[in-house]
Amino acid sequence: MKHSIEFKLFAPRNQAVALIGSFSDWESIPMEQSQQGYFQTLVDLDDGVYQYKFRVQSQDGSEEPHKWVEINDPYSTEIDVATSNSVLRIKDGQKIVDDYVWQYDHVPLPPDHELVIYELFISDFAGDSEQPEQSGQYHHTIAKLDYLKELGINAIELMPVNEAPGDYDWGYTPSYLLAPKLRFGTTNELKQLIDQCHARGIRVILDQLYNHSSDASPLLQIDRDYWYYHDRHHPDANPSDYWGPEFNYEYQDDRLGIRPAWKLMTDVVQFWIQNYHIDGIRYDALKELANDDFLHHVTGIAKQTADGKPFFNIGEHIPETPKIVSPNGPMDSCWHDSFYHFLVAHLTNQTFDLEQLKSVLEASRQEIPEGVTKVVNYLSNHDHNCLLAELGKYGIFGQAAFQRVKLGVAVLMTAPGVPLIWMGEEFGMCTDSRPNQPSKLDWSLLQQPLNRDLFEYYQRLIALRIQNSALQTSNIQFLHEDLSNQVFVYDRWHNAGARVVVVTNWSEQCLENYCVPHIPDNGMWCEWITKGQIASRERQLTINLMPYEAQILVWQSDLP
């Protein structure tokens, strides 16, 4: 039975548009323009799968005005890579993305302040071990979810999954804002991945690009200057900070009373939340986007569309800026890049500056508002080399390198803020950041003693971060600063009584019978890693500190 299916293309300043598709033997079907700027037509179609394009008299700014071009639908939810056509699916007379049935929407998910985020790239995270050159797919990641649960992860951040140019690309220059990359699998499989995460109490945050697109975006061929800046948004900026045509959030269509880029991204955000049930967005390149009014709008739309479910809006603004997470700012949180740089500098012997360390542990010293979710801290991410690779540049390898990584992990997991782990760093994967070539995780490293030990260290500290309420506040005080021995001690607490004291040794010397003063309470403490019991009396305790070691003391009870 045929049903009337509407096709439409928003092109308010174009003179003519036609529809072509497999249902018309690729012959043109005329489209009529409405007062609202849409070219529309109805086609009688049976249920099934079809391919189509639009023929548009382009406003791309070229020397040949109003030339006819064939484009895909910018609102395509699927692109057939083999034919480079938009894909339309019809079931029961309705357009659908797919027929996936969600199973685990009822499972409670952790709130923002409890999150430990794991950033991963589908292509490199997992895959067929017998074909390492082949891209990983959604189903490979699903097979690793129990591993992530064992590690203690309760949120994953997927690097961009949108269709983008190139056989191997991180996805930071998307061509289609609603279409997932077919190389990773079907839309059904992406939904299954998210659903299976939810089944395990794992939230899914999606990395999204609203600053720019690739040159292959059909919007450019429809009417470049309607959605994009004609020239570079920031002409005086470093050329390396330009990644493609930049969306213009300042332009307003006075006739229709809309801001075209705002309208587009509102639709994009609503689509991903409604159709893929995501639990947060990381907004890339906000320094370059530079429009807080738009960000207020789009993050508000995201919260509204999530309809009461936890939703985390994270901004990437490098370097970080307090204004985006201020009480009147648009974001819940921001990537804390200075945390990475200062920790790496200390762990590689470049400096020992307690004021630097204190500034990233207590971000209010950087004028970032107080709040445990205001910053996302990390020791590496897709933009930075892993810590072991950085240590290797300074001739630090083997046991010594792993020990320093553990110190970094201890600070990461006990610092105010939301910790983020880059895939593989938890078991000592050691590669440089390589955005345009495969860099598969070497899962066999988990069989090596140092690597397995590091995994278990991460595991124990993630458990502490999630279980201990002292680490889910912004409360921190600095108890002891010993510049000569490079010992630094800080205290985290919750008003209900939970308390964690972190003793860190940033030197290469072993400190025996080291007296730690200013302990906040007399009583029994448990060193979290070794499970050793330590008593504090007269508000001090004595411990042995190995080089580049952190001891994490968890309050147990008053002295008998």
pLDDT value of residue 241: 87
Residues 396, 439: contact at Cβ < 8 Å?
no
Cα–Cα distance, 466 to 474 (Å, whole number): 14
Cα–Cα distance, 390 to 139 (Å, whole number): 32
Please tell me whether residue 443 adopts helix, strand or coil conformation. Answer: helix
Strand partners, 335: 376
Cα–Cα distance, 545 to 512 (Å, whole number): 6
Cα–Cα distance, 312 to 338 (Å, whole number): 21
Architecture per CATH, 112-470: Alpha-Beta Barrel (3.20)
> What tokens does 532 get?
């050793």
Strand ranges across the sheet with 550-557? 477-482, 487-493, 499-505, 550-557, 523-527, 533-536
Please tell me whether residue 378 adopts helix, strand or coil conformation. Answer: strand
β strands within 159-222, DSSP E: 162-163, 176-180, 203-208
Cα–Cα distance, 510 to 77 (Å, whole number): 59
Residues 446, 452: contact at Cβ < 8 Å?
yes
Chain length of the chain: 560
Residues 381, 422: contact at Cβ < 8 Å?
yes
Cα–Cα distance, 228 to 172 (Å, whole number): 17
Residues 469, 494: contact at Cβ < 8 Å?
yes
Residues contacting 365, CB < 8 A, separation 6+: 358, 359
Q: Which CATH homologous superfamily contains domain 477-557?
A: Golgi alpha-mannosidase II (2.60.40.1180)
Helix (H) or strand (E) holding 262, with range, is helix 260-276
Residues contacting 508, CB < 8 A, separation 6+: 547, 548
Of residues 413, 382, 414, 389, the one with CA closest to residue 489: 414
Residues contacting 307, CB < 8 A, separation 6+: none
User: Is the C-alpha dihedral spanning 171, 133, 393, 375 positive or negative?
Assistant: positive
Q: Is omega for the bond preceding 319 within 30 degrees of 0, making it cis?
A: yes
Domains 3-96 and 112-470 share a fold: no
pLDDT value of residue 129: 66
Kindly list the domain boundaries of the chain, sorted by start residue: 3-96, 112-470, 477-557
CATH of domain 3-96: 2.60.40.10
pTM: 0.97
Cα–Cα distance, 214 to 165 (Å, whole number): 7
Residues contacting 247, CB < 8 A, separation 6+: 210, 211, 212, 213, 227, 228, 229, 261, 264, 265, 289
| Amino acid type, 533 | Q
Give the burial string for 290-319 (b: 16+ CB within 10 Å, else e).
bbbebbebbbebbbebbeeebbbbbbbbee
CA distances from 555 to 517, 521, 525, 552, 559 (A): 16, 9, 5, 10, 11
**For the purposes of burial, counting CB atoms within 10 Å of the CB of 557, is it exposed (0-12), middle (13-18) or buried (19 or more)?**
exposed
Per-residue pLDDT of the chain (560 residues; tens, 9 = 90+): 899 999 999 999 999 999 999 999 999 999 999 999 999 999 999 999 999 999 999 987 776 777 999 999 999 999 999 999 999 999 999 999 999 999 999 999 999 999 999 999 999 999 876 676 788 999 999 999 999 999 999 999 999 999 998 777 899 999 999 999 999 999 999 999 999 999 999 999 999 999 999 999 999 999 999 999 999 999 888 888 899 999 999 999 999 999 999 999 999 999 999 999 999 999 999 999 999 999 999 999 999 999 999 999 999 999 999 999 999 999 999 999 999 999 999 999 999 999 999 999 999 999 999 999 999 999 999 999 999 999 999 999 999 999 999 999 999 999 999 999 999 999 999 877 667 777 899 999 999 999 999 999 999 999 999 999 999 999 999 999 999 999 999 999 999 889 999 999 999 999 999 999 999 999 999 999 999 999 999 999 999 999 999 999 999 988 77
Helix (H) or strand (E) holding 335, with range, is strand 333-335
